[in-house]
Amino acid sequence: RYSLFYNRLKNIEENEGGLDKFSKSYKTFGVNQLVDGGIYCKEWAPGAEAVFLAGDFNGWNPFSHPYKKMQYGKWELFIPPGQDGCSPVPHGSKLKVVIRAQNGELLYRISPWARYVVRDEDKVNYDWVHWNPPQAYIHKHPSPKRLKSLRIYESHVGIASPEGKVASYKNFTYNVLPRIKDLGYNCVQLMAIMEHAYYASFGYQVTSFFAASSRYGTPDDLKEMIDVAHSMGITVLLDVVHSHASKNSEDGLNKFDGSDSCFFHSGPRGTHQLWDSRLFDYANWEVLRFLLSNLRMWIADYGFDGFRFDGVTSMLYHHHGIGTGFSGDYNEYFGLHVDEDALCYLMLANHMINFLHPECITIAEDVSGMPALCRPVAEGGGGFDYRLAMAIPDKWIQIIKELKDEDWNMGNIVHTLTNRRHEEKYIAYAESHDQ
């Protein structure tokens, strides 16, 4: 495992100029404003015959702005600035990447790197909106120092209000954060931030990985919310979903270039049987670029202080934990059923965060008990700082539902609380959104 990690890291350093540059690809992929006012566009679409950019800026002409084909399935386009030096693609205008598939069909897609997507009330699918405000939000407060003892408040911005509507970032900033502070919490873990078309999924069917959900407000509203949390000394973690993606194609990653694969495994391996979602191909170079850049963007642009990685068990094994029980025997954690590429990605992600942003925290949601998941990568571990002690809330629910007070078995409770991997840090909790 460490050998695979080391070789991938070495390849990134030799071919991409290092992990720092590699994980900043969000600054070149998608649609980005240049200093001179021009626009640089770049996409990875290996299955496309041709790629174009269409939108309000060109009257939705699907062929007037073609991308140039590059090596390794990449496409690029440069749009020069206007005569007055202004951007040819105005802030707030709608865009689509137009893909000519292998069968000749024209596909109107949202860029996987889109920063802001919105849905009109009379529409089903999301629209990609170019986000480049004249005055970008500037963070005023530094991140809190790395905490030695986490007291985490898990929250969903949209339901953090007694009103019968989807709540906003502004509401959370001025009404919820003060309450979290007063209750004595020093960390807030935010769910459902990465854009998801299906609201009832609680944010776990992500469609746009680089876009903050527009249901609650603008990207600047979220940045302000995190900034205010920092002013209160509150650490902010993002519930990040890199274990799978929504199968939506009109406003998601699925079939972006017209093929069944692209970011995902092709065939049955590319679909999760229970979640009905797509599964990333973690061995693919461009998938690594996409996911590592995604983490980097949330830290660098928004100011997040770390991540809770969702669905790690599904990532670690080819069987995704479906119909599988774990007894703790080492044979369950080492063998052909382990997805070494996914584990290598997690090691790369944690190494990157620890190396470039050592103040940030990573937490793994794993029910399998994978050994060394929270030991340093240099020791051959997964590199996470903490793992969730997921047996504790299950035990608590069992006790209050099935047992009388006088029947509580103290020895069994103590065993549940202390049954953990040696020298690995755990987050103990009584309940979360899963309960």
Angle CA 27–47–269, to nearest 5: 95
In this predicted structure, the answer to whether residue 419 has a pLDDT above a threshold of 90 is no
Per-residue confidence (pLDDT) for residue 75, from 0 to 100: 98
Per-residue confidence (pLDDT) for residue 370, from 0 to 100: 96
Q: What is the pLDDT of residues 170-216, one digit of tens each?
A: 999 999 999 999 999 999 999 999 999 999 999 999 999 999 999 99
Alpha-carbon distance 172 to 86, whole Å?
A: 35
Q: What is the pLDDT of residues 248-304, one digit of tens each?
A: 999 999 999 999 999 999 999 999 999 999 999 999 999 999 999 999 999 999 999
**Higher-pLDDT residue of 343, 431:** 343
Structure tokens at 381: 């571990």
Q: How confident is the model at residue 434 (pLDDT cuts 50, 70, 90)?
A: confident
What residues are annotated to the active site? Answer: 310, 365
In this predicted structure, the answer to whether residue 40 has a pLDDT above a threshold of 80 is yes
Q: What is the pLDDT of residues 316-350, one digit of tens each?
A: 999 999 988 898 889 999 989 999 999 999 999 99
Give mean pLDDT, residues 34-63. 97
**Residue 198 CA to its chain's centroid (Å):** 16
Closest CA to 28 of 135, 113, 131: 113
Alpha-carbon distance 222 to 170, whole Å?
A: 8
Per-residue confidence (pLDDT) for residue 391, from 0 to 100: 87
Alpha-carbon distance 377 to 352, whole Å?
A: 11
- In the chain, what percentage of residues exceed pLDDT 90? 90
Closest CA to 416 of 428, 424, 434, 432: 428
In this predicted structure, the answer to whether residue 26 has a pLDDT above a threshold of 90 is yes
Per-residue confidence (pLDDT) for residue 84, from 0 to 100: 87
Per-residue confidence (pLDDT) for residue 288, from 0 to 100: 99
Q: What structural domains and CATH numbers belong to the chain?
A: 25-129 (2.60.40.10), 152-427 (3.20.20.80)
Per-residue confidence (pLDDT) for residue 327, from 0 to 100: 87
Per-residue confidence (pLDDT) for residue 122, from 0 to 100: 85
In this predicted structure, the answer to whether residue 435 has a pLDDT above a threshold of 90 is no
Q: How confident is the model at residue 168 (pLDDT cuts 50, 70, 90)?
A: very high
Alpha-carbon distance 427 to 349, whole Å?
A: 20
Q: Look over the chain and give the mean of its residue pLDDT values, rounded to a whole number.
A: 96
Per-residue confidence (pLDDT) for residue 124, from 0 to 100: 87
pTM of the predicted model over 0.75:
yes
Beta bridge partners of 120: none
Per-residue confidence (pLDDT) for residue 431, from 0 to 100: 84
Residue 318 backbone phi and psi in degrees, to 5: -65, -30
